[in-house]
Structure 1
Amino acid sequence: MRKSNRAAAGAAAWQAVQHSARPGAPGLGERAAAIPRMLVSRLRGDYADLSVPRLLVYILAVAYVASPIDLVPELFVPVLGLADDVGVAVWLATGLMGESERFLRWERRDDRVQGHVVG
Structure 2
Amino acid sequence: MRKSNRAAAGAAAWQAVQHNARPGAPGLGERAAALPRMLMSRLRGRYDGLSVSRLLMFVLGLVYVASPIDLVPELFVPVLGLADDVGVAVWLATSLMGESERYLEWERRDEYVQGHVVG
TM-score by length of 2: 0.78
**AA paired with 1:74?**
E
Hey, what's the Cα distance between the residues in 1 that align with 2:44 and 2:69?
32
| Superposition pairs of residues 27-46 of structure 1, within 5 angstroms | 27-46=27-46
Counterpart position of 1:55: 55
Hey, what's the Cα distance between the residues in 1 that align with 2:54 and 2:102?
14
Alignment gaps of 5+ in structure 1 = 1-9
RMSD over equivalenced CA pairs, Å:
1.8
1:89 counterpart SS class? helix
Once the two structures are superposed, residues 55-82 of structure 1 have per-residue CA deviations (whole angstroms, 9 ceiling, x without a partner) of 1111111111111111111222222212
Counterpart position of 2:65: 65
Q: Is the 8 A contact 1:21 1:27 kept in 2?
A: no
Cα offset for 1:17?
3.1
Are positions 1:108 and 2:108 aligned together? Answer: yes
Cα offset for 1:19?
4.6
Q: Is the 8 A contact 1:58 1:92 kept in 2?
A: yes
User: Matched residue pairs, number?
Assistant: 103
Runs of 4+ residues deviating >4 angstroms: none
Alignment gaps of 5+ in structure 2 = 1-11
1:74 counterpart SS class? coil
**AA paired with 2:18?**
V
TM-score by length of 1: 0.78
Q: Is the 8 A contact 1:34 1:100 kept in 2?
A: yes
